Structure 1
Amino acid sequence: MRSHRIAVIPGDGIGTEVCAAARAVLDAIGRKHAIAFTYDEFDWSCARYLAEGSMMPDDGLDLVRHHDAIFLGAVGAPAVPDHVSLWGLLIPIRRGFQQFVNLRPIRVFDGVPGPLRTSGAVDLVVVRENVEGEYSEVGGRLYRGTAADMAVQEAVFTRAGVTRIVDYALELAERRGGRLTSATKSNGIIHTMPFWDEIVAERSATHPGVITRAEHIDALCAKLVLGPEGFDVIVASNLFGDILSDLAAAVAGSIGLAPAANIDPTRTYPSMFEPVHGSAPDIVGRGIANPVGAIWTASMMLDHLGHPEAAADVLTAITQVFATTSLRTPDLGGTATTADLTHAIIEAL
Structure 2
Amino acid sequence: MKTYDIASIPGDGIGKEVVPAAIRVLQAAENVHGGLEFKFTEFPWSSEYYLEHNQMMPDDGLDTLKNFDAIFLGAIGNPEIVPDHISLWELLINIRRHFEQVINIRPARTFEGLSSKLANPKDFDLIVVRENSEGEYSEVGGTIYQGEDKIAIQNAIFSRKGTERAMNYAFALANQRGKKVTSATKSNGIYHSMPFWDDVFKDVSNPFPEIQTEQFHIDALAASFVTQPERFDVIVASNLFGDILTDIGAAIMGSVGIAPAANININGKYPSMFEPVHGSAPDIVGKDIANPIGQIWTAKMMLDHFGETDIGDQLLRAIETVIQKGVVTKDIGGKATTNEVTDEIIKQLRRA
Shared fold, TM over 0.5 = yes
Q: CA shift at 1:52, angstroms? A: 1.1
Whole-Å separation in 2 of the counterparts to 1:328 and 1:32: 23
Answer whether contact 2:321 2:348 (CA < 8 A) is retained: yes
Superposed counterparts of 1:13-162, under 5 Å = 13-33=13-33, 34-77=35-78, 78-118=80-120, 120-144=122-146, 146-162=147-163
Listed one character per residue, the Cα deviations across residues 2-47 of structure 1 (whole Å, up to 9, x for unaligned) are 1111000000000010101110000001111121111111111111
- Structure 1 runs (4+) greater than 3 angstroms displaced: none
Answer whether contact 2:115 2:332 (CA < 8 A) is retained: no
Q: Which amino acid letter does the alignment assign opposite residue 20 of structure 2? A: A
Give the aligned partner of residue 195 of structure 1: 196
Superposed counterparts of 1:110-259, under 5 Å = 110-118=112-120, 120-144=122-146, 146-259=147-260
Whole-Å separation in 1 of the counterparts to 2:23 and 2:105: 21
Q: Which amino acid letter does the alignment assign opposite residue 14 of structure 2? A: I
Whole-Å separation in 2 of the counterparts to 1:226 and 1:9: 37
Q: CA shift at 1:131, angstroms? A: 0.7
Give the aligned partner of residue 310 of structure 1: 311
Whole-Å separation in 1 of the counterparts to 2:268 and 2:21: 26
Q: Which amino acid letter does the alignment assign opposite residue 339 of structure 2? A: A
Whole-Å separation in 1 of the counterparts to 2:193 and 2:50: 35
Q: Which amino acid letter does the alignment assign opposite residue 12 of structure 1? A: D
Answer whether contact 2:322 2:328 (CA < 8 A) is retained: no
Whole-Å separation in 2 of the counterparts to 1:194 and 1:200: 10
Q: CA shift at 1:82, angstroms? A: 1.1
- Identity, % of aligned positions: 56
Give the aligned partner of residue 342 of structure 2: 342
Q: Secondary structure at the match of 1:213?
A: strand
Q: Secondary structure at the match of 1:98?
A: coil
Q: CA shift at 1:119, angstroms? A: 5.4
Which is worse superposed, 263-272 or 335-344?
263-272
Listed one character per residue, the Cα deviations across residues 143-200 of structure 1 (whole Å, up to 9, x for unaligned) are 13x2211100000000000001000001101110011111001111000010011000
Q: CA shift at 1:81, angstroms? A: 1.3
Whole-Å separation in 1 of the counterparts to 2:121 and 2:290: 30
Structure 1 unaligned runs (5+)?
Answer: none
Q: Which amino acid letter does the alignment assign opposite residue 218 of structure 1? A: D
**TM-score when normalising by structure 1:** 0.98
Q: Give the CA RMSD over aligned residues.
A: 0.9
Q: Secondary structure at the match of 1:32?
A: helix
Whole-Å separation in 1 of the counterparts to 2:262 and 2:268: 13
Answer whether contact 1:14 1:281 (CA < 8 A) is retained: yes
Q: Which amino acid letter does the alignment assign opposite residue 27 of structure 1? A: Q
Q: CA shift at 1:305, angstroms? A: 1.1
Whole-Å separation in 1 of the counterparts to 2:49 and 2:121: 47
Q: CA shift at 1:296, angstroms? A: 0.4
Whole-Å separation in 1 of the counterparts to 2:267 and 2:119: 40
Q: Secondary structure at the match of 2:276?
A: coil
Q: Which amino acid letter does the alignment assign opposite residue 2 of structure 1? A: K
Q: Secondary structure at the match of 1:260?
A: strand
Structure 2 unaligned runs (5+)?
Answer: none
Whole-Å separation in 2 of the counterparts to 1:166 and 1:271: 19
Listed one character per residue, the Cα deviations across residues 281-306 of structure 1 (whole Å, up to 9, x for unaligned) are 00000000000000000011011112
Whole-Å separation in 2 of the counterparts to 1:119 and 1:12: 33
Which is worse superposed, 254-263 or 29-38?
29-38
Q: Which amino acid letter does the alignment assign opposite residue 117 of structure 1? A: A
**TM-score when normalising by structure 2:** 0.97
Give the aligned partner of residue 323 of structure 2: 322
Answer whether contact 1:118 1:228 (CA < 8 A) is retained: no
Q: Secondary structure at the match of 1:94?
A: helix
Q: Which amino acid letter does the alignment assign opposite residue 311 of structure 2? A: A
Q: CA shift at 1:265, angstroms? A: 1.9
Listed one character per residue, the Cα deviations across residues 129-152 of structure 1 (whole Å, up to 9, x for unaligned) are 0010000111001113x2211100
Give the aligned partner of residue 297 of structure 2: 296
Give the aligned partner of residue 272 of structure 1: 273
Residues 1:297 and 1:119: Cα distance change in structure 2 (over 3 Å): closer
Q: Which amino acid letter does the alignment assign opposite residue 125 of structure 1? A: I
Q: Which amino acid letter does the alignment assign opposite residue 96 of structure 2? A: R
Listed one character per residue, the Cα deviations across residues 78-125 of structure 1 (whole Å, up to 9, x for unaligned) are 221111111111111111111111010111110002011345311100
Q: Which amino acid letter does the alignment assign opposite residue 20 of structure 1? A: P
Which is worse superposed, 260-269 or 63-72?
260-269
Answer whether contact 2:107 2:126 (CA < 8 A) is retained: yes
Whole-Å separation in 1 of the counterparts to 2:71 and 2:31: 21
Listed one character per residue, the Cα deviations across residues 291-331 of structure 1 (whole Å, up to 9, x for unaligned) are 000000001101111211011110010011112x1212011
Whole-Å separation in 1 of the counterparts to 2:296 and 2:127: 17
